Amino acid sequence: MKGIKIVATGKYLPRNIVSNNDFSEIVETSDEWISQRTGMKNRHLSSGEPTWLMGSLAAQDALSSGGIDPLDIDLILVTSVTSDYMTPSAACLVQAHIGAQNAICMDVNAACSGFVYALDMARRYLCFDDIRRVLIVSSETLSKITDYTDRASCVLFGDAAGACVVEAADSLYSSDLGSDGTKAQLLYCKNPFQVKHPFMKPELVPEYDEIISPETEFLYMDGREVYKFAVKALPKAIGAACEKAGIRVEDIDLIIPHQANIRIVETAARTLGVPMGKMYVNLEKYGNTSSACIPMCLDEISKGGLLKRGQTVAVVGFGAGVTYAAAIFKW
């Protein structure tokens, strides 16, 4: 089976930078409290940039850095939980903006695992000769769904977009993906649109048990339970992907985790038995940007020359759904 190679990366960050001290002016918190519990210092927040535009600018950055013609993109996958439209897809809007008229377009919603899900989808499409180059764009405007009166959660999230171009390669690739919908109530944001039409007949609705009983119109997270899920899911997914690839965890040169919380990353590193130096972390600068976290890390790594071609990389995400996903490949 074919592996993959990432041939170009890009990102977009809103210019509006909000610090921990800025949050102390709107909720009862402090820089020390936030830093010690999350590892975060700053995050970028949109001042009106729509999700599709941020994704398009990240895509343009990737195409420019790789010297790639937009017309050579065969498939665009956009991951997001904060798309601007129910339809059309964000991928179609990105396609129109960057001029990639030859691309198939579709969106993926796997929350914070979205990029790794899309990477695995890209690899499967690339196993066939009619798809040669895939553009993955992860764009999130979490400020749209964040409750800025909730001191526990509002400090966690930022807005950003990351992108990469993926091609097939005869090299190592392994993945482990999973979901558990029975835990959907741990992290959610309800669609504001409801069934309201003049032909309603409630007596015709079959009996059912509500999976999620929304407590807020904003993003809701059971922090304690999400933490318990994440510290198990991250090492489990990495370990399973290593086993499928026939390698050891210590053979991985760099692990890029979803940037949710420094304590999650530290706990996962201990469970895996790897030093924190092998875990790439940048959440102090950007906070949790959902599916955009990992491709933004990849862009920093690529443009900073932090990896050499042929080294082994693992990416791992976990999030609402609940979902988790890990992929191992050669840089």
Q: CATH no. for residue 135?
A: 3.40.47.10
Domain endpoint, select from 172, 191, 224: 172
At 252 the three-state DSSP class reads coil
Same domain for 183 and 108?
no
* pLDDT the model gives residue 215: 86
Same domain for 205 and 179?
yes
Same domain for 247 and 181?
yes
Same domain for 131 and 151?
yes
* Sequence-separated (6 or more) residues with CB below 8 Å from residue 314: 238, 241, 242, 252, 254, 255, 256, 326, 327, 328
Domain endpoint, select from 120, 148, 172: 172
Q: Which of 112, 154, 189, 242 is catalytic?
A: 112
| Residue 112 annotated in active site | yes
Same domain for 157 and 180?
no
Q: Average pLDDT over the chain, rounded to whole?
A: 97
Report the C-alpha gap between 266 and 279 in whole angstroms: 9
Report the C-alpha gap between 157 and 118 in whole angstroms: 21
Task: Express each pLDDT in 286-300 by its tens digit.
Answer: 999 999 999 999 999
| First-residue to last-residue Cα distance in the chain | 17
Residue for token digits 């370990």?
A: 239
Same domain for 86 and 21?
yes
Helix (H) or strand (E) holding 293: helix 293-303
Same domain for 27 and 126?
yes
Extended beta strands in the chain, E state: 3-12, 17-19, 42-44, 75-79, 104-108, 134-141, 159-169, 173-179, 187-188, 220-221, 254-257, 312-319, 323-330
Q: What is the CA radius of gyration of the chain?
A: 20
Q: Which of 261, 288, 293, 297 is catalytic?
A: 288
Q: Which of 189, 258, 293, 297 is catalytic?
A: 258
Report the C-alpha gap between 316 and 235 in whole angstroms: 9
Same domain for 40 and 165?
yes
Same domain for 60 and 208?
no
Domains of the chain: total:
2
The alpha carbon dihedral of 103, 140, 302, 171 has a sign of negative
* Sequence-separated (6 or more) residues with CB below 8 Å from residue 222: 185, 186, 187
Q: At what angle do helices 90-98 and 51-66 cross, to 10 degrees?
A: 50
Same domain for 55 and 150?
yes
Residues of the chain with pLDDT under 70: 1
Same domain for 118 and 51?
yes
| Residue 288 annotated in active site | yes
Identify the domain containing residue 207 by its residue range. 174-330
The alpha carbon dihedral of 283, 289, 293, 297 has a sign of negative
Domain endpoint, select from 106, 140, 172: 172
* Sequence-separated (6 or more) residues with CB below 8 Å from residue 297: 162, 256, 259, 280, 282
* pLDDT the model gives residue 1: 53
Structure tokens at 324: 């988790």
* Sequence-separated (6 or more) residues with CB below 8 Å from residue 209: none
Same domain for 243 and 300?
yes
* Contact assessment for residue 51 and residue 277, using Cβ atoms and an 8 Å cutoff: no
Residue type present at position 168: A
| Residue 197 annotated in active site | no
